[in-house]
């Protein structure tokens, strides 16, 4: 059952955590528990791009309105990858 946890990405230890599934157009909250700043940037096009300060910083972005699977990465740390599913 969807709840607030289903629309959150927590960055910890230079990882995005488990893939999340959100509704089209949902507001996604990103919390960064690392000391370094990170981004949540869509791999394809400009579906979303959120910059998050380190040390507990938060940011939000709007999920794409088109259902599908959206791979994303951190522009500062190219080894960080995640997936956002919209359905």
List, in order, residues 6 or more apart from 62 with CB less than 8 Å away: 25, 26, 27, 28, 48
Pairing of strands 27-32, 38-42: unpaired
pLDDT at 6: 57
Once rounded to an integer, what is the mean pLDDT over residues 13-31?
Answer: 96
pTM for this predicted structure: 0.90
Once rounded to an integer, what is the mean pLDDT over residues 10-39?
Answer: 96
| 3 pLDDT higher than 90 | no
- pLDDT category, 54, cuts 50, 70, 90? very high
């Amino acid at each position: 059952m969807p709840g607030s946890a289903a629309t959150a990405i927590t960055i910890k230890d230079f990882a995005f955590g488990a893939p999340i599934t959100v509704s089209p157009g949902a507001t996604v909250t990103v919390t960064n528990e690392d000391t370094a700043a990170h981004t949540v940037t869509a791999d394809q096009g400009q579906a979303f791009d959120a910059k998050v300060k380190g040390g507990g910083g938060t940011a939000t972005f709007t999920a794409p309105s088109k259902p599908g699977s959206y791979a994303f990465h951190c522009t500062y740390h190219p080894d960080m990858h995640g997936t956002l599913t919209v359905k």
